[in-house]
Chains A and B, each alone.
Chain A
Amino acid sequence: MLSLRSIEKSYPLAGGQLPVLKGIDLIIEQGEMVAIMGSSGSGKSTLLNVLGLLDNFDAGSYHLDEVDMSELSERQSARYRSRFLGFVFQSFNLIAFKSALENVALPLFYQKIPRRERQKRALAMLERMGIADRAHHLPSELSGGQKQRVAMARALITTPRVILADEPTGALDSVTSNEVMDVLREVNSTGITVIIVTHEADIAARCDRTIRLKDGRIIEDGNSKVVIEPTAHGYTPDAS
């Protein structure tokens, strides 16, 4: 269970601070599939990065399974990222000089799993993603969809509790986007929490719950069907 209470964060800016998260209260239960929506600059990525322990926050508290994340040392948060969290990025962030297989196996390196075992599991994961035949290709030799599959395989290989995806379909066409969503739905069906930042209503529609951010605050939170509706037909900010 992820629990945020009154999270605040601002970025230092020339001549002051730019508040980006202005008191976020949020609870996400294990096994939920959540979309985070909102206009550009509303703080979606910032929120996701806080959830993923990739960024810090200024005030409030963040508990992951009852453990206070603001108390963690650098080393401990590395451990949480390694054991609990998996990331999927819009720009894939594959390591360019490593093959698909090696990219997927890398998180296991940081869990001190032997090389043979790593490779075996990475191959199995690529198979599950349907791109085992590309195992020895470099990222530059893969299509966008294939890259995102490799990235998802890499996020899943440690069997994390939570997958955090920042616009995972942002760089993909709609068919490929749908395939990525198929994978994420399937992942979610195994009990893994999936949190997706997206601009696209039809991506959010495939999640169970949608949170809408505006200007660093949650302005809407509920069943995707209900929340997304206003956007599709001209959403007005004052409604809540």
Chain B
Amino acid sequence: MIFSRELWIEIGHTVIANPMRTALTGLSVGLGIFILVVMQGLGFGLQNGVQQDFGDEASNSLWIRTNRTTLPFRGRQANRSIELRNADKEILTEKLFETPLHSARRMLWGSTIQAENEEGRFAVVGVNEDYDQLESIPLVSGRWLHQEDVAQSAKVCVIGQTIVDDLFKKKNPIGEYIRLRNVTFRVIGTFSRSGSRWTNSMALIPITTLQRVFEGADQVGRVIVSTGERSVEEASAMASMADGALRARHAVHPDDQRAVRVEDNNEQFAMYQRIFMGIRLFIWVIGGFTLFAGAIGVANIMSIVVKERTVEIGVRKALGATSGSIVTLIVVEAIALTSISGILGMIAGVLTLEFVAPFAEHDYFSNPAVNLNVTLTALGVLVLSGALSGLAPALRAVRIRPIEALRYE
């Protein structure tokens, strides 16, 4: 019966001949799904944005940096400059604890970089060979720095996409020579992180080369170390170990927040996780309420519709309709109406997101995708509630004697 063409013609006719009823049901389902899809998409975009912003750094790493002191300690004045040097890094990574990955990171801002015909100002950054893994930077072409590059202070560099675009246009930069701060380097690789112009404006060179060629000194800038497989607690212990060791070495007051800072990304990551959970929960709650409101709306309309149609049900029975055929008619109509308007709402939602997304790119917002599973589940819930809320009053209407239905007011 459900698949008979006759039934569908009858339903199609009913739906078209009652535009008000159709529009109301359609609107309450379609709008519900539409809001749900857009909310989901925006929430997802927010999460994506925050995640991307955070994704610059691997979650299992410590960032160790120093600055001028803010407090006097052991007879030394405040405002003393603290620098991390090769020796500090060595103590941290070879004596203090085991770490699978580590890197220095020293930045030379506003460095002039020249290719054949073009030049621009970018950042030259000295790092170790593990840096790409610690920062999880995607390589586009060529290769990363090797251990030998660092060991031999090779004049090689891996450059970001912005530099590639600005200096090489469409030309392949691999193997080409460029001048960093007037010193010739060979380009061995290029990288690109989507949406991060800041990262893409860096030329990465071995830290040893930076120290020897540009500074003639042994500062390492920041030190990044991986906490490996350590748990959040173990990583935290590792962080305070590094912190304590550096304070001791450089005579920094234990309360000096600026002079020595060890940022534990494990903890930050856990915090972000909580934020994401919050965002997700928010989306679910909003989505749930939207869905609930939609379902109630549909149920309401359906029960009104069936009441309105009670006399019609009586007429149909007088003309020989069985109760089953009437229930089928109403329920299939409800299902068809809710599914179609739900799908339309879904399409409208997806199109809206597609349209809005390019205008909404922001540091904390990117790529607002639609979760198809969630959307289909929501659609299913609405269709089901439409069917059930059609079924209940329809069953009531057909259970009464035909004459009662005919006399219904």
Residues on A facing B (Cβ under 8 Å) = 49, 52-56, 74-75, 78-79, 81-83, 87, 89, 93-95, 97-98, 102, 106-107, 109-112, 114-115, 154, 158
Contact = CB atoms under 8 A, between A and B. Distances in A.
A93 B403 contact: no
A74 B319 contact: no
Given A74-B322, A107-B320, A114-B6, 14 more contacts: A75-B323, A78-B323, A81-B319, A81-B320, A81-B402, A94-B315, A95-B315, A97-B17, A97-B18, A98-B13, A107-B319, A109-B10, A110-B320, A110-B321
Given A93-B406, A98-B17, A79 B320 contact: yes
Contacts of A114: 6
Contact of B319 (A55, A97, A106): A106
A81 B317 contact: yes
Contacts of B361: none
Contacts of A158: 320
Majority SS at the chain B contact face? helix
Contacts of B322: 74-75, 78-79, 110
A93 B311 contact: yes
Most chain B beta-carbon contacts within 10 A, residue among A52, A83, A93:
A93
B401 A54 contact: yes
B318 A95 contact: no
Contacts of B402: 53-55, 81
A78 B317 CA distance: 7
Nearest to A154: B319
B13 A56 contact: no
Contacts of B166: none
A211 B324 CA distance: 37
24 contacts: A53-B402, A54-B403, A55-B401, A55-B403, A56-B401, A75-B322, A75-B324, A78-B322, A81-B402, A82-B319, A82-B321, A87-B318, A87-B319, A89-B406, A93-B315, A93-B318, A93-B406, A95-B315, A97-B17, A98-B13, A102-B13, A106-B319, A109-B10, A115-B9
Nearest to A158: B320
Nearest to A87: B318
A81 B314 CA distance: 12
Contacts of B320: 78-79, 81-83, 107, 110-111, 158
A103 to B, nearest CB: 9
Interface in B1-47: 6, 9-10, 13-14, 17-18
Given A75-B322, A81-B320, A109 B6 contact: yes
Closest 5 CB pairs of A and B: A82-B320, A97-B17, A110-B320, A54-B403, A107-B319
B98 interface: no
B111 interface: no
Nearest to A155: B319
Interface in B140-188: none
A153 to B, nearest CB: 12
Nearest to B402: A54
A52 B320 CA distance: 11
Contacts of B316: 106, 110
Nearest to B321: A110
Contacts of B406: 54, 89, 93
Contacts of A95: 312, 315
B86 interface: no
Contact of B323 (A56, A74, A83): A74
Contacts of A107: 319-320
Contacts of B240: none
Contacts of B403: 49, 54-55
A83 B401 CA distance: 19
A89 B407 CA distance: 11
Interface string B73-91: 0000000000000000000
A74 B325 CA distance: 12
A115 B319 contact: no
Contacts of B315: 93-95
Nearest to A56: B401
B318 A52 contact: yes
Nearest to A138: B17
Nearest to A53: B402
A49 B321 CA distance: 16
B319 A110 contact: yes
Nearest to B322: A78
B317 to A, nearest CB: 7
A49 B405 CA distance: 13
Contacts of A89: 406
Contacts of B13: 98, 102
A97 B12 CA distance: 12
A97 B317 contact: no
A154 to B, nearest CB: 7
A62 to B, nearest CB: 15
A156 B18 CA distance: 27
A110 B401 contact: no
B47 to A, nearest CB: 48
A78 B327 CA distance: 14
Contacts of A55: 401-403
Interface string B311-352: 110111111111111000000000000000000000000000
B245 to A, nearest CB: 84
Contacts of B6: 109, 112, 114-115
Interface string B377-409: 000000000000000000000000111001000
Contacts of B10: 109
B265 to A, nearest CB: 66
Which one of A78, A87, A97, A98 has the highest number of Cβ atoms from chain B below 10 Å of its Cβ? A78
B325 A110 contact: yes
Contacts of B14: 97
B174 to A, nearest CB: 71
Nearest to B19: A97
